[in-house]
Structure 1
Amino acid sequence: MDAAAQLKEALQKMPQLIGERLCLDFANTVEPRGGISTHHTSLRDYLTSYTDLIAWGYHAHLLTEERSLHLLREVEQRPDDALAQWKRAIALRETIYRVFWLMANHEQPSQADLDALRQEYLAAVNHSWLVKQGDRFVWQWEEDDRALDQLLWPIAQSVTTLLTGEDLERIKVCPGVPGDPVLCAWLFFDTSKNRNRQWCSMADCGSVVKARRLTERRRAARASRATRSS
């Protein structure tokens, strides 16, 4: 299968981007999550290979189609390096999830996890430089066609930006649908004006919960009418 076909196939199974922050979307590439202590056979991992990682990067607008195809061809020449970078990416993903899940639940992340995020950020900064854009300066990533870890650089930057520059009280965990064997537990940054977003998506968990509540209200109303008529 050529690179274009690989990319097209992998893109067909990519998850929704509902986290509102890049690093949270990256953490949400397992479904359902269930929390930090869940190891359930029903969990679906969207990133089971370096090819999936590239496809997600394209899906999340981190990579152009041209760069994605180039990296896929690079993998064919360097399979061991690609495997190592995939393992590194998964380790980063799980660290991100643990840290922000704990923070969303008002718990303190471990220093080991924070140190791991710091190391990834420092590694990313080594591949960037400051350039003037209008009346300010911005970080720009170097363009290295052979860098198999380039997808991790903006993710690491997103983590640091979220940790140091945003309202951490807006980080939330989707409660999922009551009764499900493994709850959704996807992470998201609540951008709503009143901070009242409850679910990962109204088209997913939110719609199911609301439909169940409507059914319960209708049942209760029917029961009440039946009681009065008797």
Structure 2
Amino acid sequence: MTVVARKPGTPIAKLAHRAGHRCLDFVNSLVATNEPAPRDSLLSPSDYRIWAGMAGIAVDPQASEPVELAALNRARELRESILQILTAMLDGKPTPVGAIEHLTEEAARSFRSRRLAPADGHLAWQRTYHDLDSVTDLLAAEAAELFSRAGPLPLKRCIDADCGWFFLDTSRNKSRHWCSMTDCGNRAKARRHRARQQLEECAN
């Protein structure tokens, strides 16, 4: 999976996690992916560590630079595949076979860093490694589980062109348009207000 070069985006520590699913928040480390020049906030292994911490995923102390960079590249490749799958779902187009195969391979690889263990009368998955690669393992497994659920996903994309974040619309009437009403929603309202003022000024 080829990683597309992109311009730097918002510092990773300032990104909100509001998609309703961790693998969607992971893809949302890219901003404005539906525009010609999307921006990337996941630019270094340090960024990935910060993102993992914000997502509630524990990570071991830093490894060697080559190992960390390889893990980052793998994570970004997985993100590209998930992005392609999400975009196809929303556009009503066939899902790219390469993206499905890549996610399948990564989800299968995820068993290297997790195992089933007893937990309160049932079995639960536990992580056996906590390096950066194990973060990607977890995201691949969670993405595969999300996409394989029965029935259509309540998947939406923020209509703000400068955002384009993905989210699960769990509102009662499925009428949510923005990733956040307080951010993108309010900016849209402000733009409409300014446009009305300009029209009124021109009319006068």
Cα deviation digits, residues 124-152 of structure 1 (max 9, x gap): 1232222232343221111x35x440111
Q: 1-side partners of 2:102 and 2:186: how far apart?
A: 37
TM-score normalised according to structure 1 size:
0.75
Per the alignment, in what secondary structure is the counterpart of residue 134 of structure 2? Answer: coil
Pick from 46, 53, 57 the counterpart of residue 48 of structure 2: 53
Describe how 1:133-152 pairs up with structure 2 within 5 A: 133-142=119-128, 144=129, 147-152=131-136
Structure 1 unpaired stretches of 5+? 1-10, 178-182
Cα deviation digits, residues 25-49 of structure 1 (max 9, x gap): 00010223225xx3x2xx4321111
Counterpart in the other structure of 1:28? 28
Q: Cα distance 1:196–1:91, how it changes in 2: closer, same or farther (>3 A)?
A: same
2:62 paired with 1:83: no
Residues 33, 185 of structure 1: 8 Å contact kept: yes
Counterpart in the other structure of 2:188? 209
2:85 paired with 1:99: yes
Q: Find the structure with the greater CA-based Rg.
A: 1
Residues 28, 166 of structure 2: 8 Å contact kept: yes
Q: Report the AA paired with residue 183 of structure 2.
A: D
Residues 101, 173 of structure 1: 8 Å contact kept: no
Structure 2 unpaired stretches of 5+? 1-10
Q: 1-side partners of 2:120 and 2:94: how far apart?
A: 39
Q: Cα distance 1:166–1:190, how it changes in 2: closer, same or farther (>3 A)?
A: farther
Q: 1-side partners of 2:117 and 2:50: how far apart?
A: 28
Q: Cα distance 1:126–1:12, how it changes in 2: closer, same or farther (>3 A)?
A: closer
Counterpart in the other structure of 2:13? 13
Q: CA deviation at 1:215?
A: 4.6
Q: 2-side partners of 1:125 and 1:186: how far apart?
A: 29
Q: Report the AA paired with residue 204 of structure 1.
A: D
Q: 2-side partners of 1:158 and 1:191: how far apart?
A: 18
Q: CA deviation at 1:214?
A: 4.1
Aligned length: 195
Q: 1-side partners of 2:12 and 2:178: how far apart?
A: 24
Counterpart in the other structure of 1:115? 101
Q: Report the AA paired with residue 141 of structure 1.
A: R
Counterpart in the other structure of 2:159? 175
